[in-house]
Amino acid sequence: MNQIQENQIDLTQTSAERPAESGSELAAGLVSQFSMKDGTEVSLRPIHPGDEPLMAQFHQTLSGRSVYMRYFCSISLEARLAHERLVRICHVDREREVALVVDYTNKSSGKQQILGVGRLIKLDGQNEAEVAILVSDQYQKQGLGTELLRRLIQIARDQKLHRVSGELLRDNLAMQIIVKKLGFRFRLCADSASIPVVLEL
């Protein structure tokens, strides 16, 4: 998935300066709370330009396998931490893309972390969007992947899109479980390394 475009959001704003969530995001239903399987409370909210340092930390928590499952290729940590790349992934063209992050703040230390990211990108000229999700290895199997995808589907419905599609590698068991649970159609082909999945809304 590489259709991310930069937009004109204020690059000078740091994470500390910007509000955790803006009124318009709350109004648009883009911010939600979620309780992980172990009881940890997190927020799902749109990514912001000031998230660059948090995204850099997030990428350091990912195994090579998780990166491969998400991008269908290996990408070195150095490449993933490149400034231009981080700027690009933290800036979304809000007309055609929604990127949600799972935001966790440790109440005792005050330390903020991103535990997962999900993207919904509208396809040009179609009433359809592609989705992709990625969860930090340490926080997988806590319900975050399912919740991220569930929220992105809801946002696609709210935006009156007709279809949500995606692609996963055939040995991605976790993602197969999630898309099946959320009602996507897909077919395993013996001769194909990846599986297209589609949900009609």
Residues that bind ligand COA (CB under 6 A): 66, 69-70, 132-135, 140-146, 166, 168, 172-175, 177-178, 181
Report the nearest approach of ligand COA to the CB of residue 37 (Å). Answer: 7
Report the nearest approach of ligand COA to the CB of residue 119 (Å). Answer: 9
**135 vs 161 by CB, closer to ligand COA:** 135
**Dist. CA 161–CA 51, nearest whole Å:** 28
Minimal CB distance to ligand COA: which residue?
145
Report the nearest approach of ligand COA to the CB of residue 166 (Å). Answer: 6
Region at 146 (left for phi over 0; alpha for psi -120 to 50; beta for the rest): alpha
> Which two structure tokens, joined as six digits, stand for 175?
């993602």
**Dist. CA 11–CA 113, nearest whole Å:** 20
Residue of 129, 177, 176 whose CA lies nearest to 155 = 129
Report the nearest approach of ligand COA to the CB of residue 147 (Å). Answer: 7
**31 vs 165 by CB, closer to ligand COA:** 165
**49 vs 117 by CB, closer to ligand COA:** 117
Report the nearest approach of ligand COA to the CB of residue 177 (Å). Answer: 4
- Based on DSSP, count helices (H) and strands (E) in the chain, helices before strands: 7, 8
**141 vs 185 by CB, closer to ligand COA:** 141
What is the separation, in whole angstroms, between the first and last Cα of the chain?
21
**49 vs 119 by CB, closer to ligand COA:** 119
Cβ neighbourhood burial of 8 (10 Å; 0-12, 13-18, 19+): exposed
